Amino acid sequence: MFVPLTPVRFLHRAMDVFGDKVGVICGDKQFTFAEFGERCERLAAALPAHGIAAGDRVAYLSLNTHKLLEGYFGPPQAGAVLMPLNVRLSPPELIEILNHSGAKMLIFESDFAPLIPKLRESCPEIARYVGADDAPAADLTYDELIASGTPRRADIFSIDENSIAELFYTSGSTGSPKGVALSHRTLYLHGMSIAMLMRAPEIAVDLATIPMFHANGWGHAHACAMLGVPQVMVRRFDPRQVLAMIERYHATSMAVVPTMANALLNVPDASSFALDSVLDIQVGGAAASPELIERMEKLFPNAQCTAGYGLTETSPVLCYARPKKPVPRNDPHRWRRQSMTGWPVPGVELRVVDVAMQDVPRDGKTIGEIIATGDHIMDGYFRDPAGTKAAMTGPWLHTGDMAVWDEEGWVTIVDRSKEIIISGGENISSLEIEKAIYAHPAVFECAAVSAPDEKWGEVPVAVVVLKEGHRLSEQELMDFLGARLGRYKLPRRVEFRTEPLPKTGTGKVRKMVLREKYWQGHARRVHG
């Protein structure tokens, strides 16, 4: 029988099967799944009265809170689209995304209230500003919004499973923002896949460590509702506080980017916390090293710590580096394996191919591009059919990541073909940085490349050639860029050159050559 696939069903299941269980913990508040579900239903019911029709985008500027989590279920239940914004973007970037998406409502935490006057000026399509707290810049508060809706169970048969439920903007490789559109069906099947990877759901407690404005929160919101697993909101990632929360809530699982893992490892009195409840740590967002995995498994004595891999365009999970058969805890191959890109999760098919789309040999040596197909692949870039087309060959999405694979199908990323720098788990488009640098009148040519960094994995570095007779200091350029780019995108170093940059026959800057200088002594050209 055909029943529409939609993440709203995960919420219904949580309410029906786990209603009395505490489902969400946020600061000093906690909600049973029944209470949480009622709040989502109120939100869904309130949206139409505030101008949100089916298909409309509801944007969020919020760190991890129960209110953002309610956004994962409320708007989709109303046929609207959840659209959380990366709070680290600069005002011009936010404005560009809000206008590109045509969002009709913005729900924001008071931390972001100072931005609102500027947005009101520049984003004519936003009709309602909702203060998540009691922000004076808002038209109404979130509490008022949900109080105005009468809870009612959504009729899932009225949902078109192929309609869009979530929209996540990523800078992509071209420098202009791209809205990754994920359908109800895609999200349901991704959630099932993530749920399948969760251990011992009857005792599980998940820490929502990854910002939920990122890549569908890695599917945790959905999988946890489905399995009745309580989620503890981590509003800001303070490593010592996270360890304290693990101890307090007996957390069993969390997802981190390598910089978060490093931060946890560097808490001076880390081992004084009770961390034996943790069974499962997923490291993703950037490459992980065997040493990192090893140190994490030593700090968390009962945890399996494994790397994972995916893109916003893939909901996001494509791979996990879970052992296919048991490996003793002290086997050094264990950490090497578990730091690899891994093998595809359920619902995903993956290949490593040459430019003719033929599989490269599974010899662990020959480099090819990772392409992927399956249920987790996005439904396209929003309002960008050309961009969508460019990303795909038939049903295969080009990840732009260069990798090797071995006889058993284990994949390891060795380089990135797209112009992306991953710093602290955030994607940064080198083209976007270059665009901002080129805007300075003194610049003749430039390139942004990645350099390895102990803390952030990678950081952007700018290589700049000035116009003849012009002068520009590093500080002047940084001040200039500061007004144009989100802080995390700013180059950490500027290298001025007087020679023209090395180029290919077709005149493209040879970034590989520029980058080489920074990566000497590193085996791979990606770093976690």
Residue 365 tokens read as 């040596």
Contact residue for a copy of itself among 29, 236, 248, 324 (CB under 8 A) = 324
Q: Could you please report the per-residue DSSP string of 28-83?
A: TEEEEHHHHHHHHHHHHHHTGGGT--TT-EEEEE--S-HHHHHHTTHHHHTT-EEE
Is 377 an interacting residue with respect to a copy of itself (CB under 8 A)? yes
With contacts defined by CB under 8 A, how many residues of the chain interact with a copy of itself? Answer: 44
Is 361 an interacting residue with respect to a copy of itself (CB under 8 A)? no
Nearer to a copy of itself, 298 or 322 (CB): 322
* Binding range to a copy of itself, per CB under 8 A, among 55-63, 118-126, 184-192, 461-469: 184-192
| Shortest reach from residue 362's CB to a copy of itself, in Å | 10
E-assigned strand segments in 278-433: 280-283, 304-310, 317-320, 343-344, 348-353, 368-374, 380-381, 392-393, 396-405, 411-416, 420-423, 426-429
CB pairs under 8 A, 24+ apart, for 357-365? 357/393, 357/396, 360/404, 360/405, 362/405, 362/406, 362/407, 362/409, 363/404, 363/406, 363/407, 364/404, 364/405, 364/406, 364/407, 364/412, 365/404
Is 92 an interacting residue with respect to a copy of itself (CB under 8 A)? no
Is 203 an interacting residue with respect to a copy of itself (CB under 8 A)? yes
| Shortest reach from residue 309's CB to a copy of itself, in Å | 15
Residue 393 tokens read as 């060959």
* Binding range to a copy of itself, per CB under 8 A, among 101-109, 190-198, 331-339, 460-468: 190-198
Is 375 an interacting residue with respect to a copy of itself (CB under 8 A)? yes
Considering only residues 327 through 346, tell me which ones interact with a copy of itself, judged by CB under 8 A.
343-344, 346
| Shortest reach from residue 322's CB to a copy of itself, in Å | 7
> Which residue, 516, 471, 520, is CA-closest to 496?
471
Nearer to a copy of itself, 123 or 187 (CB): 187
Contact residue for a copy of itself among 196, 390, 483, 512 (CB under 8 A) = 196
Is 121 an interacting residue with respect to a copy of itself (CB under 8 A)? no
Using CA atoms, how far apart are residues 89 and 74, in angstroms rounded to an integer? 25
Longest dimension (CA), the chain: 73
CA distances from 310 to 44, 168, 199, 281, 427 (A): 30, 14, 20, 16, 12
Contact residue for a copy of itself among 136, 326, 328, 507 (CB under 8 A) = 326
> Which residue, 233, 287, 243, is CA-closest to 264?
243
Contact residue for a copy of itself among 121, 136, 150, 157 (CB under 8 A) = 157
CB atoms within 10 A of CB 524: 14
Nearer to a copy of itself, 179 or 425 (CB): 179
Contact residue for a copy of itself among 228, 290, 361, 387 (CB under 8 A) = 228
> Which residue, 107, 223, 156, is CA-closest to 4?
156
Q: What character string, x for contact with a copy of itself (CB under 8 A) and - otherwise, covers 378-417?
A: xx---------------x-x---------xxx--------
Contact 91, 137 (CB under 8 A): no
> Which residue, 193, 235, 196, is CA-closest to 213?
235
| Shortest reach from residue 384's CB to a copy of itself, in Å | 15
| Shortest reach from residue 375's CB to a copy of itself, in Å | 6
Nearer to a copy of itself, 20 or 499 (CB): 20
Is 226 an interacting residue with respect to a copy of itself (CB under 8 A)? yes
| Shortest reach from residue 374's CB to a copy of itself, in Å | 6
Contact 167, 178 (CB under 8 A): no
* Binding range to a copy of itself, per CB under 8 A, among 1-9, 125-133, 163-171, 419-427: 1-9
In eight-state DSSP terms, residue 93 is: H
Considering only residues 7 through 46, tell me which ones interact with a copy of itself, judged by CB under 8 A.
9, 12-13, 16-21
Nearer to a copy of itself, 87 or 377 (CB): 377
| Shortest reach from residue 199's CB to a copy of itself, in Å | 9
Considering only residues 162 through 181, tell me which ones interact with a copy of itself, judged by CB under 8 A.
162
Nearer to a copy of itself, 193 or 429 (CB): 193
> Which residue, 35, 484, 456, 38, is CA-closest to 46?
38
**HSE-CB of 283 using CA atoms within 13 angstroms:** 34
Contact residue for a copy of itself among 240, 322, 435, 524 (CB under 8 A) = 322
Contact 6, 147 (CB under 8 A): no
Residue 117 tokens read as 């006057």
291 backbone φψ class: left, alpha, beta (φ>0; ψ -120 to 50): alpha
| Shortest reach from residue 311's CB to a copy of itself, in Å | 13
* Binding range to a copy of itself, per CB under 8 A, among 54-62, 289-297, 320-328, 482-490: 320-328
Nearer to a copy of itself, 363 or 516 (CB): 363
Listed in sequence order, the DSSP H helices in 210-281 are 220-227, 239-249, 258-265
Is 510 an interacting residue with respect to a copy of itself (CB under 8 A)? no
Q: Could you please report the per-residue DSSP string of 430-471?
A: HHHHHHHHHTSTTEEEEEEEEEEETTTEEEEEEEEEEPTT--
Q: What residues does 181 pair with on adjacent strands? A: 167, 380
- Contacts with a copy of itself by CB under 8 A lie at 1-3, 5, 9, 12-13, 16-21, 157, 162, 185-186, 192, 195-196, 202-203, 226, 228, 322-326, 343-344, 346, 349, 373-375, 377-379, 395, 397, 407-409
